[in-house]
Structure 1
């Protein structure tokens, strides 16, 4: 059925079609001439024109729907008069137009009512004109009207159902669009309230989502003529092609790319990370960029490193003096052998402490590269170093009831600095005992292959989680399981140990199960570079 807003337009279009056909018939009648009642015919034509004027002038949208049915009903009566005026002209076919209008615009009532009224008019006119119809001709026009009306009615019902379905779909889409707009507004408000920048970069390099923090942090960091953007060191001007946003537009992904914007008191240190967005089909659909202002964090780290450096410098002076006097005491004639041995032990430990202070100084450097550690590699037997390191930790292990197993320590030659490797082992064994369970177990193993020698230190301690495994070798990092415990530590030992091993050309790795224990593996060159295996 037609809605109220369509009534006026429907009345005009349908009546104009009917009137156009009647007008053509009237003109043809004037040209050819009528054999019937001309006055009665043109009276009917005039009625059709009057109905057309009513269809155009009357505001049918403000009236009840059934009032509009008066026009096609009037057309049926006017066509009946035309048929009476000229029975042989076939004007009964014009009933098709109002019947179609009623079936399409007024549902089941219009369909049945239009057919019945048209058939009634057909029967009445036949009585009036006293025609003698044949069995076939009498049925043809009614069957045609019924067929056309039924077909129109069914098509109208299908069109109405489709329109209803489209209206419902439009309503659902409108509601979905409104929800999407609300979600977008909530997301935008949430992003604008965080203090780190978030941006969505499309594949063409444009930014589809930018929160206030991103715009604020990046402001002034994309200049082309002024060198206002610097590398992480704060001194080297950053090439525009190396800017994090330029790298993102080239398709790169990275973590913690640091730049400095501005200089002096107005400077900002930014940490930028980018992650690519991969579609289900594997295609790249852009990236998400997160920017953090780490100026305060960087300043705090710088102050901490300065403090560590200052304290370490202050420690070196008395340690150097202690070493000097210990050497004098050792060289003094007449010192009893027992006292001389104690002095040598003190001398070795003071020398080791001095080296540790030097390593702390190197590790606290502002340079993020490996600490500047000096190594003097030579061909060594790892068994001797392992045994010496184990012997030095036995007292601490015994106090906690921890057993140290050296049954898998086998002869293994390596090309390494014995003092530095002893430092690495001291740190690994100290951690294995310190972070172990009471009455736990520490196992040390050595092995050697054609290219590499291996030292493995395994413990039954608290273990490391996934976060710890990725950060345990960072400077000043302490694992989550021991961070709030009574066990003390500065977080430098493993970082220094890895730097030492890497200076040898090897590496140190860790595998761990939280709550079960950890295994640290040290890989060292088995022989001097350039020499063949024996």
Structure 2
């Protein structure tokens, strides 16, 4: 078992993170958009300025076929405009003001083209044309078309040159570049919009997941049983506060975990059989009771259940281990058993005396027949009461250790025990026209205490007769494979419902309206005796069809010998 983090800290931390995440994300989106606008203006202008600066350097060192004053006037305008672009706070101005920069660039490039009409200076218009077409939508694109058409017309008139196909080539190229930039920008805007929607959806899903995680955490911390979630790779992923409290309660004085014992509170539990170790190995179990701590010090009893989890792909998703403190319940049951045992012992002595005097009275030869009949009735009821007291005493001391202390196992033939039980109960079966079929008895060696085994078979056969239908059948059988021996008791009676089967072996429990007779102790005592022999008692039943009890016992003793 592992320790748990402080749940109060966990609950206090997550809501604050959720509260601060949303406004921070909104501020980042707005700031990101403003910084992108300023960065775009700066980068576009720096790119144009770099090309113009390199072109100006070439003009300065070599011959220039044009007006250098007019050319450098355009260069200076672009350089100065670039410096202004670097210092202007674009995020504080309306977005339309950015269009002033490429507009002035177009004017400066026009001056450079006028300075040398026969050169390709007009190609520099590509930079502001792309900027306007991409950044200002259809309005920017039409503005570019009108501006370029007007400028090229003016330049053609000013230069007074013959109009040829080369006169229209530059405008067509600029129009194509503007259209391409516009379409590319629209496509990029659509992609950004889609990404923004997906990001918003992811934020909502993340926020919903955080809220659900917070609710689950608060619910887990509110319950009074410990919960441990183990991932498929064996890592402990989730624990709750109750688990941490149980861990502290199970700690010893030196800070280590207290020693663990089995449900009898005496047998030491190996470290590899601890619940979490078993869960890590892939095991699943239900209601495994473990005692922590040694007497006479404080002790804790935990009922631990492990359930395997399946991931969406159908693989092993780990396990959930749930632990519950059942110390008070077990101590209350122990106190009840002690009280019942004490009262039963007190009742047994006077009942034995009553039966003795009834026997003496019945043996008197001079008593009338009707008095003798009354005494017989009193004796039968006194014997029944004594059997009930004996069952209560057995139930109050029915732990495996107490039964094992009174057992003397030896080599037996289970067939003889079962046949003797069936023959002894033939009169009871005949009173209800129930047939006891013993044709299924085979030679079957078993290592058991004869008196205790007879008690088990008598109880099962008595129940099979009592809860059978009039005229029904009780089938008895024995078989072995040399390692284990099976005893079968099957009836054709009323059967047991699924709801009753889950509690049938609990002490003092009587299932269904048809099973209200008796003390409800017989099957609980029977199973305890079978388990004390190292065996198991199984049940198969269908309502209205009948029930089958199967006793599995070792066929050989510790030495491996068979009868």
Asked whether the two chains share a fold, i.e. TM above 0.5, the reply is yes
SS where residue 307 of structure 2 aligns? Answer: strand
Deviations 1:188-223 (A, max 9, x none): 111111111112123555432121111111114355
Identify the residue that residue 202 of structure 1 maps to in structure 2. 231
What is the alpha-carbon distance in structure 2 between the residues aligned to residue 208 and residue 84 of structure 1? 74
What is the alpha-carbon distance in structure 1 between the residues aligned to residue 495 and residue 278 of structure 2? 41
Identify the residue that residue 75 of structure 1 maps to in structure 2. 105
Q: Does 1:463 align with 2:499?
A: no
Please tell me whether the aligned partners of residues 539 and 547 of structure 2 are also in contact (alpha carbons under 8 angstroms): yes
1:295 offset after TM fit, Å?
1.3
Superposed, 1:191-230 pairs within 5 Å as 191-203=220-232, 205-221=234-250, 228-230=258-260
What is the alpha-carbon distance in structure 2 between the residues aligned to residue 292 and residue 84 of structure 1? 92
What is the alpha-carbon distance in structure 2 between the residues aligned to residue 524 and residue 58 of structure 1? 94
Identify the residue that residue 400 of structure 1 maps to in structure 2. none
1:273 offset after TM fit, Å?
2.0
Please tell me whether the aligned partners of residues 413 and 526 of structure 1 are also in contact (alpha carbons under 8 angstroms): no
Q: Does 1:391 align with 2:421?
A: no
Identify the residue that residue 3 of structure 2 maps to in structure 1. none
SS where residue 445 of structure 1 aligns? Answer: strand
Identify the residue that residue 28 of structure 2 maps to in structure 1. none
Identify the residue that residue 130 of structure 2 maps to in structure 1. 100
Please tell me whether the aligned partners of residues 363 and 492 of structure 1 are also in contact (alpha carbons under 8 angstroms): yes
Q: Structure 1 residues 448 and 269, CA, compared in 2 at 3 Å: closer, same or farther?
A: closer
Q: Does 1:317 align with 2:346?
A: no
SS where residue 216 of structure 1 aligns? Answer: helix
1:93 offset after TM fit, Å?
0.6
Q: Structure 1 residues 506 and 64, CA, compared in 2 at 3 Å: closer, same or farther?
A: closer
Identify the residue that residue 395 of structure 2 maps to in structure 1. 363
1:106 offset after TM fit, Å?
1.1
Please tell me whether the aligned partners of residues 440 and 475 of structure 2 are also in contact (alpha carbons under 8 angstroms): no
1:431 offset after TM fit, Å?
4.3
SS where residue 132 of structure 1 aligns? Answer: coil
Please tell me whether the aligned partners of residues 413 and 453 of structure 1 are also in contact (alpha carbons under 8 angstroms): no
What is the alpha-carbon distance in structure 2 between the residues aligned to residue 253 and residue 411 of structure 1? 36
Identify the residue that residue 398 of structure 1 maps to in structure 2. none
Q: 2:331 aligns with which of 277, 299, 307?
A: 299
Superposed, 1:426-441 pairs within 5 Å as 427-428=459-460, 431=463
Please tell me whether the aligned partners of residues 381 and 413 of structure 1 are also in contact (alpha carbons under 8 angstroms): no
Please tell me whether the aligned partners of residues 535 and 554 of structure 2 are also in contact (alpha carbons under 8 angstroms): yes
Please tell me whether the aligned partners of residues 192 and 211 of structure 1 are also in contact (alpha carbons under 8 angstroms): yes
Q: Does 1:380 align with 2:409?
A: no
Q: 2:159 aligns with which of 104, 126, 129?
A: 129
Q: Quick check: 58-67 or 426-435, which moved more?
A: 426-435
What is the alpha-carbon distance in structure 1 between the residues aligned to residue 215 and residue 44 of structure 2? 51
Superposed, 1:112-511 pairs within 5 Å as 112-135=142-165, 137-203=166-232, 205-221=234-250, 228-232=258-262, 233-234=264-265, 242-255=273-286, 256-261=288-293, 266-281=298-313, 283-322=315-354, 324-325=356-357, 357-358=389-390, 360-365=392-397, 367-368=399-400, 371-372=403-404, 374=407, 380=416, 385-386=421-422, 388-392=424-428, 404-406=433-435, 408=437, 410=439, 412=441, 423-424=455-456, 427-428=459-460, 431=463, 442-447=472-477, 455-461=488-494, 463-465=496-498, 467-479=499-511, 481-482=512-513, 487-499=516-528, 508-511=537-540
Please tell me whether the aligned partners of residues 257 and 273 of structure 1 are also in contact (alpha carbons under 8 angstroms): no
Please tell me whether the aligned partners of residues 455 and 523 of structure 1 are also in contact (alpha carbons under 8 angstroms): no
SS where residue 98 of structure 1 aligns? Answer: helix
Identify the residue that residue 55 of structure 1 maps to in structure 2. 85
Query: Tell me, which stretches of 5 or more residues in structure 2 are unaligned?
Result: 1-31
Q: 1:20 aligns with which of 38, 50, 55?
A: 50
Q: Structure 1 residues 225 and 431, CA, compared in 2 at 3 Å: closer, same or farther?
A: same
SS where residue 219 of structure 1 aligns? Answer: helix
1:469 offset after TM fit, Å?
2.8
Please tell me whether the aligned partners of residues 385 and 418 of structure 1 are also in contact (alpha carbons under 8 angstroms): no
Deviations 1:115-174 (A, max 9, x none): 331232122112112223532x22332232122222222221221111111101100000
1:306 offset after TM fit, Å?
0.7
SS where residue 309 of structure 2 aligns? Answer: strand
Deviations 1:387-414 (A, max 9, x none): 542423666xxxxxxx543174548466
Q: Structure 1 residues 187 and 110, CA, compared in 2 at 3 Å: closer, same or farther?
A: same
Deviations 1:278-312 (A, max 9, x none): 33555434321111011110111101211222133
TM-score, normalized by length of structure 1? Answer: 0.81
1:90 offset after TM fit, Å?
1.1
TM-score, normalized by length of structure 2? Answer: 0.77
1:176 offset after TM fit, Å?
0.2
Identify the residue that residue 38 of structure 2 maps to in structure 1. 8
Please tell me whether the aligned partners of residues 260 and 268 of structure 2 are also in contact (alpha carbons under 8 angstroms): yes
Task: Select the structure with the greater relative contact order (CA < 8 A; seq sep ≥ 6).
Answer: 2
What is the alpha-carbon distance in structure 2 between the residues aligned to residue 335 and residue 296 of structure 1? 56
Q: Does 1:36 align with 2:66?
A: yes
1:15 offset after TM fit, Å?
1.0
SS where residue 89 of structure 1 aligns? Answer: coil
Q: Structure 1 residues 369 and 472, CA, compared in 2 at 3 Å: closer, same or farther?
A: farther
Please tell me whether the aligned partners of residues 359 and 371 of structure 1 are also in contact (alpha carbons under 8 angstroms): no
Aligned length: 517
